[in-house]
Amino acid sequence: MNISVPGQNVEPGQTTFSDDVLKIELCGPSRENLSIIDIPGIFRTPTEGVTTKIDMALVEKMVWDYIRDERTVILAVLPAPTDIATQSILTMAKADPDGLRTMGVLTKPDLVDKGAEQGIIDLVMGKRHPLRLGYCIVRNRGQAELNTASSERSAVESQFFNQTPWSTLDKDRVGLLALKERLQELLVENTQREFPKLKSQIDQRLAACKGKLADLGPDRTSQEQQRRYLQEMAIEYQKLTDYAVDVYYNRNPVFDEIPALRLPTLIVERNDAYIKEISRRGHTIDFNLPEEETAATSESDASEGFDEEITEDPTDVSCILPISDEDNECSELCDLFPVDFVIPHTRGGNVLGWIEKEYRKARGRSLESIGPAVIPTL
């Protein structure tokens, strides 16, 4: 994680915090069914050699990610000796607009200056900065008490809150035991409130998982199962082929998802385009000459020959059949549909004069009729 060890100065590229989770699980008959996530405290100013701006942004993002979860109970832990108004966690707790998940926890009451206790008491009693779930106040171990047992800690805490002015607070708001009971109540309330949503989400995820499992098909661990799977795949492919050939596109949604599978339709459209091209460009001789042009050229064509009037431009690309993207994706069709080719210009001149010339060149001993030998020439 590239996190610096305690006492080591932060070097470039190192961080003090990480969003990786260290999970400690305590099990036993006396343990409560409760998960506690201890996230770092928010700080606004980096400390040179200790924290960086990256750490500051990382911690704030981590806090936001947890408190936005509607199933999380927000414990706003606040040191009693500090000014509550300056603690940003209460502002961030507005992610819980109804205040059903946010409870304040005040610590270190034994460090409050003499005469300032009443302000903390007013806070716990809801007279200042009220929260819907209110506040609890606990006394932590001091430095000299770190090695004391839990029972000793609880006894010292109880003795502390029995003293004036802390004794005026409600007993269900002071001490670790009161906080524990209150957390249990909040956990039950939150579970009852969120359980229907949780059940709905579980059902949705279960349905999604079942759908993904169904997409994988049946088990294929044995050779027999694998053989059966391939047979079913071949049968399904044959069905799709039959649907495509018979133009039953509505029997499978794949024809809407992949229009290129509509082969008969594509063939008909290509055939229509071919017919249009042939009707417009598919000729070498034009019989539809104006009458005056026919009269002017008939004599010269009859004597000089029609072939001399043929005009061809080998560079003419006046007709290039369009090739679609689907054709380009199928390399095996490249011989059937060339990308481009040349169609020459139509021949000019009087075709009737040329026919007469060829007829006269092919006359034999028969009567005045067109002999079959001239047809291949024409």
Q: What is the pLDDT along the chain (378 residues), one digit of tens a residue?
A: 456 666 666 666 566 777 777 888 888 888 877 778 887 777 777 777 777 788 888 888 888 888 888 888 888 888 888 877 777 777 777 788 888 888 889 998 988 888 888 888 888 888 888 888 888 999 988 887 888 888 888 888 888 888 888 888 888 889 998 898 888 888 888 888 888 888 999 999 999 999 998 888 778 888 988 898 899 899 999 999 999 999 999 999 999 999 989 989 999 999 999 998 888 877 666 665 555 555 554 454 444 444 444 444 443 444 444 445 454 566 666 676 656 656 555 555 677 788 888 888 877 776 666 667 777 877
74-79 and 102-107 beta bridge pairing: parallel
Rounded distance, CA 186 to CA 180, Å? 10
88 inside domain: yes
> Taking the CA atoms of the chain, what radius of gyration do you get in angstroms?
46
Longest distance between any two alpha carbons in the chain, whole Å: 147
How far, in whole angstroms, is CA 45 from its chain's centroid?
37
Q: How far apart are CA 161 and CA 166, in angstroms?
A: 5
Q: What pLDDT is recorded for position 304?
A: 47
Say yes or no: 195 and 115 in one domain.
yes
One domain, residues 196 and 85: yes
Assess whether 228 and 108 both reside in one domain: no
Listed residues 139, 173, 200: the one ending a domain = 200
User: Is the domain of 267 the same as that of 365?
Assistant: no
Residues 54, 80 contacting (CB under 8 angstroms): no
Residue 109: give its domain's CATH number: 3.40.50.300
Query: Domain count of the chain?
Result: 3
- Is residue 28, in this structure, part of any structural domain at all? no
Query: Is 173 part of any domain?
Result: yes
Angle between helix 150-161 and 176-215 (nearest 10): 120
Q: What's the CA gap between 269 and 321, in Å, rounded?
A: 13
Asked whether residue 121 falls in the same domain as residue 242, the answer is no
**Residue 176 within any structural domain of the chain:** yes
Among 172, 200, 228, the domain boundary falls at 200
The domain in which residue 273 lies consists of 219-282
Sheet holding 135-137, edge to edge: 74-79, 102-107, 135-137
The one-letter amino acid code at 307 reads D
Buried/exposed 31-50: b ≥16 CB within 10 Å, e otherwise: eeeeeeeeeeeeeeeeeeee
Spatial distance between the Cα atoms of 76 and 319, rounded to a whole number of angstroms: 79
Helix 223-245 with 263-281: angle, nearest 10 deg: 40
* Domain match, 193 and 299 both: no
- In whole angstroms, give the CA distance from residue 356 to residue 358: 5
Q: Quick one: pLDDT at residue 132?
A: 87
Pick left, alpha or beta for residue 327 (phi over 0 → left; psi -120 to 50 → alpha; otherwise beta): alpha
Do 54 and 15 meet the contact criterion of CB atoms below 8 Å apart? yes
Residue 15 belongs to some domain of the structure:
no
Task: Identify whether residues 255 and 353 lie together within a single domain.
Answer: no
| Sign for the pseudo-dihedral over CA of 47, 51, 57, 62 | negative
Phi, psi of 3 (to 5 degrees): -100, 135
Cβ–Cβ under 8 Å, residues 157 and 141: no
Residue 6 in domain: no
- DSSP helix/strand/coil, 103: strand
Q: Within 13 Å of residue 151, how many CA atoms lie on the same side as its CB? A: 0
Q: Are residues 244 and 327 in the same domain?
A: no
Structure tokens at 169: 């607070």
Two structure tokens written together for 124: 């716990």
For residues 298 and 277, membership in a common domain is answered with no
* Residue 3 lies inside a defined structural domain of this protein: no
Residues 297 and 182 in one domain: no
238 and 190 both lie in a single domain: no
Residue 212 domain-assigned (yes or no): no
Residue 28's pLDDT is: 86
84 and 173 in a common domain: yes
| Domain final residue, candidates 200, 230, 250 | 200
